[in-house]
Structure 1
Amino acid sequence: MIDLGIIGGTGFYKFFESIKEEKVETPYGDPSAPVTLADWEGKRIGFIPRHGLHHQYSPHRVPYPANVAALKKLGARQILGFNVVGSLSAEVSKGHFLLIDQFIDLTWGRQWTTLDRPNGAHADLAEPYCGRLRSLAIDALADSSEIVHPRATALIINGPRFQTKAESRLYNSWGADVINMTQSTEASVARELEMCYVNLSFCTDYGVISEDLAPESGDAPVRHQDVVKYFGENVDRVQRMVRKTVAALADDAGCGCRTALERSWGNPHAGDSRPALD
């Protein structure tokens, strides 16, 4: 059984000395990869590479329900999702860390819910990330030497293409701070499965409007290889911050996330009809 689930990029493998890999079947299909089990910061960790072992799942093809359900089936009741993001705000620079607290979801056509059935529930996402875990993470990272934004709004696009400059400027006018392609779907599925979910993001680029946000960078396009390169150059910093966060994330069976659907069913007499995960 695991204490904490982590979902992140394939590069996370270098963070862990794997105990073993566990293949997990779920009612929602197979996860992106077998779950890597490891002991880390006094916790048994289960890690899933969001895009698969060889980055074979584009953002709109990631099996989000299966990934989250696999971690729950192995015993996790809380998840740390890690993302790289692009900036949409002059307040957020490359190299900054963010604890996202809100998102604007523009995704479509993906596998995004566990509740697609008659008399399904309507999950409350007013506060889409676990406030308890966010408070623990904020406190844990407050004394780091890094710049950490304790609040930020992420704009989530479907991908796999990057956005246009006009789109980035529109999203900026909406109040979005960063842009990403995955985290809203993970957060909403975690809420449906009544799990605590917190997000830590690392900014790798300026969301195609570097001339607006960092004039010294010029008119620089966003390219996937540049994002990967920048992440690789800063992997030690990222690992330190993830470790500090993991060490701080204490479980609490009384957290409101664990009963998030208690009063959310469309037909209160139908009950919870989701497939069992055991």
Structure 2
Amino acid sequence: MIESVSSPVVGVIGGSGVYDMDGLEKAEWKAVDSPFGPPSDEFLCGELEGQPVVFLPRHGRGHVLSPSDVNYRANIDALKRLGVTEILSLSAVGSLKEELPPGHFVLVDQFIDRTINRTKTFFGDGLVAHVSLAHPVCSRLDHHLVAAAEEAGIPFRKGGTYLAMEGPQFSTLAESNLYRSWGCEVIGMTNMPEAKLAREAELCYASVAMVTDYDCWHPDHDHVTVEQVVKVLMENAEKARTLIRAVLPRLSGRDASCEQGCDRALDNALITRPEQRNPETCARLDAVAGRALAAEAN
């Protein structure tokens, strides 16, 4: 079981273009075993101005995993095993709004999950749980990201809906226009089920969506070259590193509790009666649900 900690450990999941994190002190890549299979890569553990940080390249160094091949359960489970208490998720996205051009960041606060080929829960097989996902982003993390983005001079929008599609192909024009009609701001392939699993693991979670291009709905989209998109991707990656360096000091010094209750998401969520729970499933959930299982046992 993972015990509660009195100070935060920040996990950073890097998306396309963000495969490492420079400037960390005491930096060391560590391999972590998970009962849910292999994570995307080893984890870069270190400190920045005294704040413990754990970094994971979502697609692996060298970008070897497609969005559908990422083992989201293993990633979140392993971060929890490393003591992470909150996650800052970075991801490259397409814009569904004219006013959100390439180079703009969106601090996402809602998701629509259209993925179809991914395991989306840690639970099942003799232990059922239902967590609330009405507000999937931690408002405290979002507040600090806003302040850090303003300080760093990064163009951003506070709030927005992220449409998560399966991929790896991009959307058709009909799909793109449909998602625009739903009022979505950005479209990507990786924040689901990541956000759902973070909530099940009682981890605070916030998403930074980095716009690389307009999705295919835009009339000028066909004039954008691959070289231009890659250029924006690299520029976004550097801005993302700047944002993380700016926000980390703001996240230090708090106690273990979360005002929104992210760290207590499993309170009253475990539905299966204790005497009917699968012991093997409970053992596999020692990191994800250890706190809640121990609380029920006492």
TM-score normalised per structure 1: 0.89
**Aligned equivalent of 1:210, options 204, 215, 218:** 218
Question: Counterparts of 2:100 and 2:49 in 1: how far apart (Å)?
Answer: 29
Could you tell me how far apart the structure 2 residues matched to 1:233 and 1:36 are? Answer: 22
SS of 1:109's equivalent in the other structure is coil
For the residue of structure 1 that corresponds to 2:270, the secondary structure is coil
Question: Is the Cα contact below 8 Å between 1:12 and 1:49 reproduced in 2?
Answer: yes
Indicate conservation of the 8 Å contact 2:152/2:246, yes or no: no
What does 1:165-204 correspond to in 2, within 5 Å? 165-204=173-212
Is 2:269 the counterpart of 1:264? yes
Pick aligned residue for 2:118 from 99, 110, 120: 110
With over 3 angstroms needed to count, the CA separation of the structure-2 counterparts of 1:11 and 1:42, relative to structure 1, is: farther
Q: Counterpart in 2 of 1:85?
A: 93
Is the counterpart of residue 68 in structure 1 residue 76 in structure 2?
yes
> Secondary structure of the residue that 1:72 maps to in structure 2?
helix
- Matched ranges for 1:149-160 at <5 A: 149-160=157-168
Query: Contact 1:79–1:198 (CA<8 Å) still a contact in 2?
Result: yes
Q: Which residue of 2 aligns with 1:15?
A: 21
Aligned residue for 2:108, secondary structure, equals: coil
Query: Structure 2 vs 1, CA of residues 13 and 158 (structure 1 numbering), >3 Å: closer, same or farther?
Result: closer
Retained in 1: the 8 A contact 2:16–2:92? no
Give the structure 2 partner of residue 237 of structure 1: 239
Match of residue 296 from structure 2: none
Q: Which residue of 2 aligns with 1:214?
A: none
Moved more, 231-240 or 264-273: 264-273
* Distance in structure 1 (CA, Å) of the matches to 2:79 and 2:160: 26
CA distance in 2 between partners of 1:188 and 1:41 (Å): 30
Once the two structures are superposed, residues 31-64 of structure 1 have per-residue CA deviations (whole angstroms, 9 ceiling, x without a partner) of 1111112322432211111011232211111010
CA contact (8 A) 2:20 2:55 kept: no
Q: C-alpha offsets along residues 4-36 of structure 1, whole Å, 9 cap, x if unaligned?
A: 111113643453256211110112111111111
Give 1:253's aligned residue: 256
Contact 2:103–2:235, Cα closer than 8 Å, also in 1: no
Mapped pair 1:101 → 2:103: no
Distance, in Å, in 1 between the alignment partners of 2:225 and 2:249 is 33
> Equivalent residue for 1:43?
51
Q: Percent identity?
A: 38
Q: State the number of aligned residues.
A: 272
In structure 1, stretches of 5+ residues that fail to align are 212-216
Greater displacement, 14-23 / 53-62: 14-23
* CA–CA separation in structure 1 for the residues paired with 2:214 and 2:17: 21
Structure 2 stretches lacking a partner, 5+ long: 291-298
Does the CA contact (< 8 Å) of 2:152 and 2:242 recur in 1? no
CA contact (8 A) 2:214 2:221 kept: no
- SS of 1:184's equivalent in the other structure is coil
Q: 1:47 and 1:160 mapped to 2: Cα distance?
A: 24
TM-score by length of 2: 0.83
The Cα of 1:204 is off from its aligned counterpart by 0.6
1:199-236 deviation digits (Å, cap 9, x = unpaired): 1121110011221xxxxx4534685x654332114443
CA distance 1:140–1:53, shift in 2 (3 Å): closer
